[in-house]
Chains A and B, each alone.
Chain A
Amino acid sequence: MAVDINKIDEIISSHERSEESLLSILQSFQRELNYVPEEGIKRLSESFGVPESRIFAMATFYKALSLVPRGRHTIKVCMGTACHLKGGGLILEAIERELGVERSGTTKDMRFSLETVNCVGACAMAPVVVVDNEYHGHASPSNVHNILKKYE
């Protein structure tokens, strides 16, 4: 996939040139490009004089940053204690089957990225599936399709 170098440079130059800006630049990459591209890390390293290995390490440390492009929507299946007991695992399997994608993966059409999380703080609604920022409680393998269909 072609990366937009201009966009990368634009993001870099809109931040102050100090090490403290590194994380927020990586977050901007994630927000605006949907991932942290290799080219972005390279250019950041060159323009800030910070070793590439250090920036790469940062990008691997935070869960909120992804090294591969993410889908337009993010599905989080809760695997916290309550959801786990209420069948969170089965929901996950159902979604994997429905979308033909594995945990931590992204569908080929870039529509969804699938993740698991450990508790979203909505245990009363267990099992919970969160799509983007919308909570879907009392999920079941049979209503997975209905939950997902409105996201394009």
Chain B
Amino acid sequence: MEKIKFIIDGKEVEAVKDQNVLEVAQENGIYIPNLCSNPEVKSSGGSCRVCLVEAHQNGRMRLVTSCNYPVREGLEVKTETPLVKRIRKGILELMLARVPDAEVVVELARENGIEEPRFKKDEGDNYRYKCIACGLCVQVCEEVVGVSAIAMLNRSYEKKPGTPYMKPSEVCIGCGACAYACPTGAISIKDQGDTRKIWGKEFKMHTCSVCGKPYIPEAQIDWIVETTGKDRSFFDKCPDCR
């Protein structure tokens, strides 16, 4: 691993070549707002654009998304210039108009001086109302879970995650990783008794033999047993009672 040095907000920092700017900033206690990138998901990031910063290199400056911009020797990053603030504000204002119910977006917009967008707010009544169409849920389902039950459907302003034909998916295991990863809490997941409902499909939950709490969908156990060869009896007890 090749170590390099570069400058971020006037401070010289050390990093591994090709690490992304956002990650290095966080390691050095510099806050850059971000929504769609998740360090556990390689294919994530680059979509919401709230993480943008100024990247100066070879006498030129570009606005880049810090979550997927690789650090290099000689790079200088500025995270809070008037330009960055102005553009980020614009992005957040549009986003707020799009998903006025998404708490994180409302909060981020407020931090950046926006209470009310000047644009007409979107209306809707389903999960899409909070969705910023970043694609993280789909990336998690494909890359981390390995199931690809959902994909980004349609395009442009109609883009949204969903299952084929918006029907209960044949391959979904009900793990809920998509809902957990979603930055805006846009995916509805409901656990009631020993049933979980997600993406319009119901899953029977497996109950812990000690505390009696339903804690994991049967379908997820099947999937883990099938793909990793783990012994089924491992799931008799929930993580708290193991």
The interface stretch among B69-77, B162-170, B190-198, B201-209 is B162-170
The interface stretch among B30-38, B80-88, B146-154, B226-234 is B146-154
In the complex, whether A100 has a CB less than 8 A from a CB of chain B is no
In the complex, whether B242 has a CB less than 8 A from a CB of chain A is no
Task: Check if B148 sits within 8 Å of A54, measured CB to CB.
Answer: yes
Q: Interface residues of A toward B: which range?
A: 10 to 19
B152 / chain A contacts, CB cutoff of 8 Å? 57
Taken together as a complex, chains A and B put the C-alpha atoms of A61 and B154 apart, in Å, by 5
In the complex, whether A121 has a CB less than 8 A from a CB of chain B is no
B62–chain A nearest beta-carbon distance, Å: 29
Q: A52's contact among B142, B154, B155, B170, by CB below 8 Å, is which?
A: B170
Task: Check if B149 sits within 8 Å of A53, measured CB to CB.
Answer: yes
B95–chain A nearest beta-carbon distance, Å: 23
Task: Check if A56 sits within 8 Å of B148, measured CB to CB.
Answer: no
In the complex, whether B171 has a CB less than 8 A from a CB of chain A is yes
Known contacts A56-B151, A57-B152; A51 and B171 CB within 8 A of each other: yes
Q: Interface digits, A26-52 against B, CB 8 Å rule (1 contact, 0 not)?
A: 000000000000100100000000011
Residue among A38, A41, A55, A57 having the largest count of chain B Cβ atoms under 10 Å: A57
Q: Interface residues of B toward A: which range?
A: 10 to 19
- Which residue in chain A gives the minimum CB-CB distance to B153? A60
Taken together as a complex, chains A and B put the C-alpha atoms of A61 and B148 apart, in Å, by 17
B147 / chain A contacts, CB cutoff of 8 Å? 51
Task: Check if B164 sits within 8 Å of A41, measured CB to CB.
Answer: yes
Taken together as a complex, chains A and B put the C-alpha atoms of A53 and B153 apart, in Å, by 9
Known contacts A38-B165, A41-B164, A51-B148; A56 and B153 CB within 8 A of each other: yes
Task: Check if B151 sits within 8 Å of A53, measured CB to CB.
Answer: yes
B140–chain A nearest beta-carbon distance, Å: 13
A41 / chain B contacts, CB cutoff of 8 Å? 164
B155 / chain A contacts, CB cutoff of 8 Å? 60-61
Task: Check if B171 sits within 8 Å of A57, measured CB to CB.
Answer: no
Task: Check if B163 sits within 8 Å of A60, measured CB to CB.
Answer: no
Taken together as a complex, chains A and B put the C-alpha atoms of A27 and B147 apart, in Å, by 26
Task: Check if A60 sits within 8 Å of B148, measured CB to CB.
Answer: no
Taken together as a complex, chains A and B put the C-alpha atoms of A52 and B148 apart, in Å, by 8
Taken together as a complex, chains A and B put the C-alpha atoms of A60 and B165 apart, in Å, by 10
Given contacts A53-B164, A56-B164, 8 further A-B contacts (CB under 8 A): A51-B147, A51-B149, A53-B149, A53-B163, A54-B148, A60-B154, A61-B154, A61-B155
Q: List 18 A-B contacts (CB under 8 A).
A: A38-B164, A51-B142, A51-B148, A51-B149, A51-B151, A53-B151, A53-B164, A53-B171, A54-B151, A56-B151, A56-B153, A56-B164, A57-B151, A57-B153, A60-B154, A61-B154, A61-B155, A67-B165
